[in-house]
């Protein structure tokens, strides 16, 4: 099995870990006069990702303290409920919503990290001029575009990880509605984020295709999908 085939297989395995999705157009960037530019851009993008990741660690620590404070405030409100069972359920649901958000964003970031690793291997092959790489300039441009997509997705994941879905209690009689409001908000936010991560995955797949063919995608050419993403 060639190294190119191994790269392609890695992307296929990565896509299987995501839910069914629609394919959206990903176009390679216009080639620059100098082949070195995409490489330099890739390095800058990677540095930006690392800087954001360091800043995120500090922000997450602050967020944990905030969540603990809001959870305590929620618990205090729920203690006033006449229906203690309802209060217990509401407290558990609120904690689970934030836990789900943390778990999903952590998993998405792992996918993005894996995509970056795949690009690193592909870029090494492009720079070494291996025989199976066609059109190193086109491939470098596509890789730079994919790194941009990963950087944008990583920033979106970071922002999502810092969101708070603690239930905002309006009244004991409306607690189910209050919980549903936060649950629906989490669902909507995660769906939007998932599309951004999928777009990054497609950009990586496109970079591999371009490296093999030496040709960028033709503007206007796209694979259609349904609005539901199926």
pLDDT tens digits along 60-106: 777 777 888 888 888 889 888 999 999 999 999 999 999 999 999 99
Residue 29 lies in a domain: no
d(Cα 165, Cα 182) in Å, to the nearest integer?
6
State the CB neighbour count (10 A cutoff) for residue 152: 15
Tokens of 124: 């090494």
Summarize pLDDT for 159-215 with one digit per residue, the tens.
999 999 999 999 999 999 999 999 999 999 999 999 999 999 999 999 999 988 876
Residue 32 lies in a domain: no
18 backbone φψ class: left, alpha, beta (φ>0; ψ -120 to 50)? beta
The boundaries of the domain holding residue 89 are 37-213
Residue 229 lies in a domain: no
Residue 13 lies in a domain: no
Residue 227 lies in a domain: no
Average pLDDT over residues 111-132: 89
Q: Which residues of 137-147 are buried (b: 16+ CB within 10 A; e: fewer)?
A: bbbbbbbbbbb
Residue 208 lies in a domain: yes
* pTM, rounded to two decimals: 0.68
Greatest alpha-carbon pair distance for the chain in Å reads 74
Residue 88 lies in a domain: yes
- Give how many domains the chain has, as a whole number: 1
């Amino acid at each position: 099995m060639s190294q190119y085939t191994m790269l392609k297989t890695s992307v296929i395995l990565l896509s299987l870990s995501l839910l069914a999705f629609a394919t959206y157009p990903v176009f390679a960037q216009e080639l620059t006069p100098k082949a070195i530019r995409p490489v330099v851009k890739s390095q800058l993008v990677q540095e930006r990702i690392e800087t954001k990741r360091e800043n995120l660690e500090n922000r997450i620590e602050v967020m944990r303290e905030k969540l603990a404070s809001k959870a305590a405030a929620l618990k205090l409100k729920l203690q006033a409920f006449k229906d203690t069972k309802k209060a217990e359920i509401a407290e558990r649901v609120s904690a689970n919503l934030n836990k789900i958000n943390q778990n999903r964003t952590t998993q998405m970031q792992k996918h993005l990290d894996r995509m970056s690793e795949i690009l690193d291997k592909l870029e090494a092959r492009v720079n070494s001029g291996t025989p199976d790489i066609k059109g190193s300039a086109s491939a470098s441009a596509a890789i730079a575009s994919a790194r941009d997509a990963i950087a944008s997705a990583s920033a979106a994941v970071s922002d999502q990880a810092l969101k708070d879905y603690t239930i905002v209690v309006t009244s004991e009689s409306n607690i189910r509605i209050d919980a549903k409001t936060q649950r629906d908000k989490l669902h909507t936010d995660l769906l939007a984020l998932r599309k951004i991560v999928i777009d990054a995955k497609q950009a990586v797949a496109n970079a591999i295709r371009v490296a093999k063919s030496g040709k960028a995608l033709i503007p206007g050419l796209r694979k259609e999908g349904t609005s539901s993403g199926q």
